[in-house]
Amino acid sequence: MPSRANSPNSKSDASLKSGCGGCVLRELGLCSILIGAGLESPLDRPPLPQFEKTVAARLPLFRAEERFSNVPILCEGWAAIVAHLPNGRRQILSFLLPGDFISASLLFEETLHHAAETITPVCYRSFARAELRELLFAHPKILENVASACIREKQRLEDLAIDLGRRRADARLARLILSLRERMATRGRAPSRVFNFPLRQVHIADALGMTQVHVNRVIKRFHQNGLIDLQARSLRILNEKELQRLANK
């Protein structure tokens, strides 16, 4: 049972590429929405103006109620949307993976209602809302894509509510693991059995509405039962059948 800590404050990360041209997401996922991949008619304008920013791991990314004149998209790294309660408790509402909007709502609203923070080092790009929206109207296909991104955000929240309301700790954890794996699998390829898993136990606790201590106990049980092997920020699924069974309980 490993314990690991890693450098929380590296202010820039060598693995971050510097241009959208080299971006793995360019033809894929949500970024394609914006560069217009898959449009029947190619965009009649140069690429949208954008600015790019990099933030180190485990740092606040945006404040709750922060106002935006542009809409940010995660290009690299993991982040989380987290709600802070008056009593100091926290609830993670979603994990953000490369290609996700920070929040699709920012296309239509000025303010982000919850805080965001980085989990790994993160790179994001921001697009001017006004120009983005012109695009929306000009290209129905883009509106379509944005809508479906929005729907996906909603579905994840529904799933979260169902988990928190009606499932036990082990089912929640099993589902989190499987859904993250699903999301990480680049489109087309089958989800892999071992993958990068940068979450700390606190993140899991805050996402699943449990305490960090209890997360530890459940992970330990999974480990003892030969379900998973989690170390060095890498997760290996050993018994997928059983994990699926737990998840659907």
- Which residues make Cβ contacts (< 8 Å) with residue 61, sequence separation at least 6? 55, 79, 102, 115, 116, 117, 118, 122, 124
By the rule CB under 7 A, 219 interacts with DNA:
yes
Q: What's CA 19's distance to the chain center, in Å? A: 21
Q: Which is nearer to DNA, 177 or 219 (CB)?
A: 219
Residue 39, Ramachandran bin (φ over 0: left; ψ between -120 and 50: alpha; else beta): beta
Angle between helices 201-208 and 169-184 (to 10 degrees): 110
Full DSSP string of 54-120: EE-TTSEEE-TT-B-SEEEEEEES-EEEEEEPTTS-EEEEEEE-TT-BS-GGGGT-SB--SEEEESS
Residues 6-45 that bind a second copy (CB under 8 A): none
Q: Binding mask 116-155 vs a second copy (x if CB under 8 A, - otherwise)?
A: ---------------------x--x--xx--xx-xx-xxx
Minimum Å gap between C-beta 121 and a second copy is 26
Q: Which is nearer to a second copy, 56 or 143 (CB)?
A: 143
Handedness of CA 89, 70, 126, 148 (dihedral sign): positive
CB of 78 closer than 8 Å to CB of 120: yes
Q: Which is nearer to a second copy, 172 or 181 (CB)?
A: 172
By the rule CB under 7 A, 206 interacts with DNA:
no
Q: Which residue of 58, 90, 129, 152 would you call a contact of DNA, by CB under 7 A?
A: 58
Bridge partner list, 116: 62, 81
Minimum Å gap between C-beta 209 and a second copy is 3
By the rule CB under 8 A, 114 interacts with a second copy:
yes
Provide the binding-site residues for DNA, judged by CB under 7 A: 1-8, 58, 168-170, 200-202, 209-214, 216-217, 219-220
Provide the binding-site residues for a second copy, judged by CB under 8 A: 83, 85-87, 89-91, 93, 105, 107-109, 113-114, 137, 140, 143-144, 147-148, 150-151, 153-155, 157-158, 160-162, 164-167, 208-209, 248-249
